[in-house]
Every structure is written in structure tokens, then in C-alpha cells.
Amino acid sequence: MSLLPSEMPPRSRPPAATSPEPDNEIELGALWQGVRKRLPWILGATALVTAGVYLWSRTQPDVYEASSSLVTVGSANTGGLGESLVTASALPQGALQEALQGPLVLGEIIRRIGLEASIAPEVRGELAADLQEQLQKRELKTVELQPRLDPGGNGIYTVTAQAPTPQAATILTDLSAQALLNWDRGRALSGVERAERGLRAQLAEIDRQLALDNLPQLERQTLVAARAGAQRSLAQAGIQAQGAAGFLELVAPAVVPLERVAPKPTRNAVLAGLLTLLLGAGVAALRTVTDRTARSEDDLLTFGLPTLGSIPRLRRRDVVFSGIVRAAREAGLYEAVGFLRVNLLTRIGERPGQSVMITSTVPGEGKSSLTATLADGLATSGKRVLIIDADMRRGTQQDVWDKYQRDHQWTQLVGVGGARTLQEALLDPGNVQVMEAEPNLHLLPAGPGLQDSLGQLNRADLGARLAEWGKGYDLILLDSPPLLALADALVLGRQVDHVLLVVEEGKTSLQAVKQSLRRAQGGNLDILGFVLNKVVATSENRSYGYDYAPRLKG
């Protein structure tokens, strides 16, 4: 009794390559390639942001800015006038800023700006409303104070104000500076006024005592003398009130500005564009660093297997309208498939009837399309090729070649009449027909989707069938299910001579490749190497022949 294929000892073959850990280092060249790959999107986003910011800035209202300077007076040398002059004390750090945004100073500014007849009513109302809102929120933005002081607290304060018109900015700056000067002078007057109130209270008390009838003569004379001294002090206080001065003094009043400070559409657009460009490049670099997919042949070298070919990506539109085979010919894939064909035949030798299974890690990596284009290239070079669509759950080879040519001839593979699909051929292997896809190329389709494909493969003596069906052919290509999707590929791989693993550039993860190789090693599959599929054409790989298609005469 013959053993089932799953029970048969595997063919003698070299051990599968180990799959070491991929290198985690990112080279500058790979980093630049990742950024350049996304460069069209980065430049597009930069252009959109730049244009949007420019147009938005053009719609913003004009802002003009004026400034005025205040200087600290300090202790001036007044000679013999010192008793008649009162100067406010030095201000502690931050005191003037607190005063500016407080109700005493800012309230005076709001009141006076509302009465300023030289400013247009709508501008005046807008400024007053903005200042009132900033007063309530304690976030003053329209008027700013910038100190430049030495460690002793002496120096210059710059008052800056913004407004919709040049004249309004100038007036608001001068009003703000004057309000600060008034508040500072008020600090000096407050001490004198308190002294005056005390002296007046003292005089009132002396007058009340002098009005008494039974007051002794000596005490009356004393009160009269005290009254005269209080009157002299009160007169002195009045003189000091007239000469009271603050700690600050106006140095440079505001000048009407000639140019607006905002908006600046060109500057804003350039800054936004540069920021978007840097941000986009940073995101692209980060994506490249964290990208653990097969980006190039170098990423696959760490697994110890060669990359037999790099097949460029075809435009979806060409595939839809022309089919994968005709689109591959018209797009100039002949050279890329030619490299793969030469490398494959060099690795396996010229022994006829060899079987090569083409698989991938997961669905969607293009193994079926690669099988068709490789078979087409082999047939064109004079090799007789048999394609067996062994993906009995999702067979696609029939659709691929129907897109290329609808009317097909069927030829006898073995026996008389019989099966025209792999499902039927496994049940009746002695009578099988194959579809003539093109000269030197025959196809055995998979047939309708089969749920229990693994059971049927296990029940069939597939190794013997391949040996019988391969007579008269130089090569048999098996389009199999992905290694990580179904166990069918492991069963098929034990019965074929060689296995090619298709890897999609920028999509297949290196971890998936590692897991696939681990499964292949456990199943004792002979992995010839990789085929990097759907490669995006760049200036580098164009120089290796991707764009070296023949020029057709019109």
C-alpha cells in the first residue's frame, strides 16, 4: 500500500536557510530613500499649506505698532531745593507691568481712548472693547511693556501699542505712557496728601482748644506757637505737592508708523511652508525608521538567501485594460523577468521536468502574476512550461490568461480526454487535458473554490503525478497558496524540487518573511531565494534596465 504524501519521507535536499534577526540599524541611505519615496506627498502638502496660509493672511485686518520710551529718574541732586521736592520711590521688579494691566492704569487708558475724537468711532469702539475684555481676563495684549533695567532697577521701559490704523496706534501708545506717568506721580503725591490731611486735623484740634474760655495764658501761648508751626508745615506740604515727581520720565513719545506689522502674507507663507516641509520630512524619516518591511534587496540579505529578481510595479490601469501578461510586455518588464529567468535556470540547472513552487508569505503579494509573467518569459525563450494552479481555494491563473486571450485550445497531457482542472486531475490523474495559453506554455487551472483543499492534496500521490505530468516539459511552475495563510503550501513544497518566495516591496514585513522561512525549514522545503515584487521604479533601478524597453517604430 502506498503512503500518503504527508506520510512519505521528504526528498533529499539541502537544509533550508536559517532566518537570523534582521538588523535594526537604519543607514542614512535607506533613510533618504524613505524620505524621497514620500517626497511628492510632502511637497504637495507643503504647497497646499503655503498657499492656504498666504490666502488666509491676506484676509486678516491690518495691524500697526507704535512705541514710546520711559526712563527711570533716580535720586537727582537738587541742592537746597531738596526739602521742596518729593520724588516717588524706586519701583520693584514687575510692579509697573502689574500697574499697566490693573484697573487704575488700564481703566484710565480705556476711558481716555473712548473720548479721543481724533480716532474714527468704529476704531475707537473696537480698541475700547478689546482693552476692556483684556482687563477682565487679565491678559493684556494690545499694549505691552518691555523693561531694560540694570540690577539696581534703573533703565528704560518701552511702551508698545497696536491698533488698526497708524494714528490710532500712536495715540494709544501716548495715552498708555501718560497713564503710567500719572500713576507713578500719584505715588509721590499720596504721601504729601496724607501729610496735608494730618496737618489740617492738627490745626483743627488746636483751634478747638484755643476757643476755650478758661485756657491758661501759658498754654494758650504754646498752642498759638504750635498753630503757627503747623501752618508753616501745611504751606510747605502744598509747595511739595506742586513739585511732586514720579520715578519715571518720558524720553521719546510715539511716532506715527509707516508700515504695518501684520499681516505679512509672504513671511507667514514661507514660515508655514518650511515648517510643513520639516514636519513632513521628520514624519517620513520616522516612518522609515519604524518600517520593518522589505524595502530593498539589502533588507533580505540578512536571511542568507539570494534575491533572484526584482520585478517593477505595473500601473493598475494597464493591468485592468490589458491583462497582466500583455501589460508586462508593454511596460518593459521583459528585462526584469529576464534577469529572474537567467538566475533561476542557473540555480536549478538544465534538467528537464523540474518543478518550482512559487509562493508568498500572505495573499496579495503578486505570486500569481509573477508566475504568469515568468512562465511567459520562459516560453518566449524557447522553454516548454507547464503552469499548475495549485491554489485550489482561490485559483486565479485561468482569469489571468483569459484576460490575455479568451479562446484557448486544449491539448492532451496524459490519457484520453478527462480532467481540465487540478481538482479533477487529482481524482483521475491518468486522463488530463491542459489549456494552451500560448506557444510552449500550457496551464492546468485550479478549478472552482474548494474548501477542503488540504484533504485532497493529502490523499493524492502528488509527487508521482508531477513526475508523470512533467514529461515533455522543461519546467513546471506551481502557483501555490501563501505559506502563512494555509498549510497547503507546506504539503506542496515537500513534493516539488524548489520553492521561490515572493516578497512585496514596502508591504511584506520582515517578521512575516522570518516566520515563513521558519515554516519552510520545519517542512524541509528547498527555498531557492526571494523575488522582490512590485518594486517602485527609482533613478537607481532605472539604470539597471527597468526603462530599457525597445523603441517600437510607428
Phi, psi of 410, rounded to the nearest 5 degrees: -110, 135
| CA distance linking residue 535 with residue 293, whole number of Å | 13
Torsion of CA 73, 74, 78, 79, to 10 degrees: -160
pLDDT confidence tier of residue 243, bands split at 50, 70 and 90 = low
- For residue range 141-165, list pLDDT tens digits in order: 999 999 999 888 889 999 999 999 9
Phi, psi of 102, rounded to the nearest 5 degrees: -90, 170
Question: Residue 23: its pLDDT value, please?
Answer: 46
Whether residue 416 is contained in a domain is answered as no
pLDDT confidence tier of residue 11, bands split at 50, 70 and 90 = very low
- Residue-averaged pLDDT of the chain: 85
Are residues 271 and 212 part of one domain?
A: no
- For residue range 331-351, list pLDDT tens digits in order: 667 788 889 999 999 999 989
In this prediction, residues 303-328 reach a mean pLDDT of 84
Are residues 536 and 480 part of one domain?
A: yes
Percent over 70 (pLDDT), the chain: 88
Are residues 85 and 150 part of one domain?
A: yes
In this prediction, residues 237-266 reach a mean pLDDT of 86
Question: Residue 298: its pLDDT value, please?
Answer: 85
Are residues 236 and 282 part of one domain?
A: no
pTM above 0.75, yes or no: no
Question: Residue 85: its pLDDT value, please?
Answer: 62
**Listed residues 224, 252, 280: the one ending a domain:** 252
CATH assignment of the domain containing 503: 3.40.50.300
Number of domains in the chain: 3
Element holding 32 (H helix, E strand): helix 28-37
Torsion of CA 387, 3, 418, 437, to 10 degrees: 0
What's the per-residue H, E or C state across 90-156? Answer: CCCCCHHHHHHCCHHHHHHHHHHHHCCCCCCHHHHHHHHHHHHHHHHHCCCCCEEEEEEECCCCCEE
| CA distance linking residue 441 with residue 434, whole number of Å | 10
Question: Residue 290: its pLDDT value, please?
Answer: 76
Q: How many CA atoms lie within 13 A of 101 on its CB side?
A: 18
Are residues 74 and 53 part of one domain?
A: no
Write down the residue that cell numbers 519552510 correspond to.
520
Whether residue 430 is contained in a domain is answered as no
Q: How many CA atoms lie within 13 A of 242 on its CB side?
A: 7
| CA distance linking residue 366 with residue 389, whole number of Å | 14
Are residues 351 and 323 part of one domain?
A: yes
Selected residue with higher pLDDT from 32 and 476: 476
DSSP state of 245: B
Query: With contact defined as beta carbons under 8 Å apart, do 145 and 132 qualify?
Result: no
| CA distance linking residue 22 with residue 83, whole number of Å | 88
Whether 215 has a pLDDT exceeding 60, the answer reads yes
Whether residue 404 is contained in a domain is answered as no
Whether residue 432 is contained in a domain is answered as no
Whether residue 234 is contained in a domain is answered as yes
Nearest 5°: CA angle at 112, between 107 and 118? 150
| CA distance linking residue 423 with residue 426, whole number of Å | 6
- For residue range 425-449, list pLDDT tens digits in order: 998 899 999 999 999 999 999 988 7
3-state SS, residue 349: coil
Whether residue 420 is contained in a domain is answered as no
Whether residue 528 is contained in a domain is answered as yes
* Grid cell in block for residue 536: 517602485
Write down the residue that cell numbers 507643503 correspond to.
46
Question: Residue 269: its pLDDT value, please?
Answer: 95
In this prediction, residues 132-146 reach a mean pLDDT of 94
pLDDT confidence tier of residue 459, bands split at 50, 70 and 90 = confident
Selected residue with higher pLDDT from 87 and 126: 126
| CA distance linking residue 519 with residue 535, whole number of Å | 26
The burial of 83, by beta-carbon neighbours within 10 Å (0-12 exposed, 13-18 middle, 19 or more buried), is given as exposed
Whether 518 has a pLDDT exceeding 80, the answer reads yes
Are residues 113 and 33 part of one domain?
A: no
* Grid cell in block for residue 332: 518593459
| CA distance linking residue 490 with residue 480, whole number of Å | 10
Question: Residue 332: its pLDDT value, please?
Answer: 64
Whether 2 has a pLDDT exceeding 50, the answer reads no
Q: What is the CA radius of gyration of the chain?
A: 47
User: Position 527: which residue type?
Assistant: I
Are residues 85 and 137 part of one domain?
A: yes
Cis bond before residue 263 (omega within 30° of 0) = yes
Are residues 248 and 215 part of one domain?
A: yes
In this prediction, residues 463-479 reach a mean pLDDT of 92
Specify the pairing of strand 475-479 against strand 354-360. Answer: parallel
| CA distance linking residue 463 with residue 173, whole number of Å | 95
**Listed residues 195, 228, 252: the one ending a domain:** 252
Whether 15 has a pLDDT exceeding 70, the answer reads no
Are residues 237 and 321 part of one domain?
A: no
Whether 55 has a pLDDT exceeding 90, the answer reads yes
Question: Residue 356: its pLDDT value, please?
Answer: 95
- Sequence-distant (6+) residues with CB within 8 A of 163 are 63, 64, 66, 123, 127, 142, 169, 171, 172
b/e burial code for range 35-52 (CB count within 10 A of at least 16 → b): bebbeeebeebbeebbee
The burial of 262, by beta-carbon neighbours within 10 Å (0-12 exposed, 13-18 middle, 19 or more buried), is given as middle
Whether 5 has a pLDDT exceeding 50, the answer reads no
Specify the pairing of strand 498-504 against strand 527-535. Answer: parallel
Highest mean pLDDT among 148-157, 285-294, 398-407: 148-157
User: Position 23: which residue type?
Assistant: D
Are residues 286 and 154 part of one domain?
A: no
Are residues 237 and 311 part of one domain?
A: no
Selected residue with higher pLDDT from 452 and 252: 252
Whether residue 431 is contained in a domain is answered as no
Question: Residue 527: its pLDDT value, please?
Answer: 93
**What residues make up the domain containing 124?**
64-252
Q: Comparing C-alpha atoms, which of 392, 334, 333 is closest to residue 534?
A: 333
